[in-house]
Structure 1
């Protein structure tokens, strides 16, 4: 009898407790939250595993990419891979400034870059500059500051037998002391006072290492 009573008491206690838990208004919410957290944890672990695997594969791919052959960088960026403002054309490197300056300062800035204000020697070079400047005003290395009307290139090139691309009617020294030349409308040349604020173009030969590479190919 005692054993039967004990079993009945245990069954009654269990049923009461289950009914108490099941009757709680938030019981099902807690269960759903627990399941949600468990699913989120599973998704996180799976995602982390996939990211780790992808990173490992990318590292393997990077290690398999061959290095550029010696000299190829010079072919792709003959004026230097780290000097994006320098552009290559027909054996020379050209620098198109992002700042404006008077002609004298522009001349000095080019010298600081081991270069000179551009000297335009041909229609091909003129077309290259014209396309690049796009109607903005840029100083070139041409001036008659030493003697009015006696124009000289900064590198000593013969002005009178060389290439010219003045705007019709220029140079005219219209406002007096217009002693420096720049490119403007459609790339045509114009004389203006040298203290005018203009962008500027520097030029220099290819670096010696690049010239040596090209001469050997």
Structure 2
């Protein structure tokens, strides 16, 4: 009996424990239910706030893009203005450079024209000077020709008078032939060999002042004597070309064509626009020289006639 009572007690206590556990379980279920409802409210609130956040973000992005666009437009407008100013400045600079270059080209062209005009004027002036010089030269040559002709005529007359006088003296007296000082006697003629040089006309004038002429060579003997006395020095003789080309005349009128001639090889030659006169080379041969050239000269005159 005792065992049954103990068993009953244990059974009762077991039932009590189950009831207690069951109550506790219900109490726990009652308590959990409010907790589950609060979670659902939290999730719903979170889901309601997310669309609003996206709208704010999109609105912010739109505002940011608008600001960027406006700033970009302002920058573009500013850059366009600067580009326009730069373009205007470059255009002005190019226009100024074009104007300056055109001005320099015009000035250079004007200077070139002035220089060309000056050169043309100088050429014209020089041409006039050359023409005047040519005229003066021709006039001088004509004067020289006239002077030579006059001297030749005077010399021929003087020489004729000398020979006439000598013929008269031979008829009237028995002469003794003598030559002045510094003259040498050869074959009844007196010869003067000048120590100084002069042109042909001046040499003939000197001889005329001594009652003589430049030497007239008409024999082989006379040519040989003069060659011996030359001492290798060139001398004028009394032979020159007349106004006619190639016409040679002796100062005393002796016929050139009928006298012996002792020209050097290649002579007489043409020496251009110069007056041509004859002279003895250093070897005694005849040669053509310009009449204005200065050479020694030989004067020839008849001997003096004295009564014995």
- TM-score (norm. length: structure 1): 0.58
Superposition pairs of residues 182-197 of structure 1, within 5 angstroms: 182-197=279-294
Compute the displacement of 1:177 (Å). Answer: 2.3
Superposition pairs of residues 19-98 of structure 1, within 5 angstroms: 78-80=178-180, 83=181, 85-98=182-195
CA RMSD across the alignment: 1.8
Compute the displacement of 1:112 (Å). Answer: 0.5
Compute the displacement of 1:145 (Å). Answer: 3.7
How many residues were matched structurally? Answer: 134
Instruction: Measure, in 2, the Cα distance between the counterparts of 1:134 and 1:187.
Output: 9
| Alignment match, 1:166 | 263
Instruction: Measure, in 2, the Cα distance between the counterparts of 1:106 and 1:138.
Output: 10
Superposition pairs of residues 125-204 of structure 1, within 5 angstroms: 125-204=222-301
Instruction: Measure, in 1, the Cα distance between the counterparts of 2:207 and 2:263.
Output: 23
Instruction: Measure, in 1, the Cα distance between the counterparts of 2:262 and 2:201.
Output: 22
Q: Identify, as 1 or 2, the structure richer in helix.
A: 2
| Alignment match, 1:68 | none
Question: Could you tell me whether the CA contact under 8 Å between 1:137 and 1:184 is conserved in 2?
Answer: yes
Relative contact order (C-alpha < 8 Å, sep 6+): which is higher?
Answer: 1
Would you identify which runs of 4 or more consecutive aligned residues in structure 1 move more than 3 Å?
A: none
- TM-score (norm. length: structure 2): 0.42
Compute the displacement of 1:178 (Å). Answer: 4.9
Instruction: Measure, in 2, the Cα distance between the counterparts of 1:145 and 1:200.
Output: 20
Question: Could you tell me whether the CA contact under 8 Å between 2:234 and 2:279 is conserved in 1?
Answer: yes
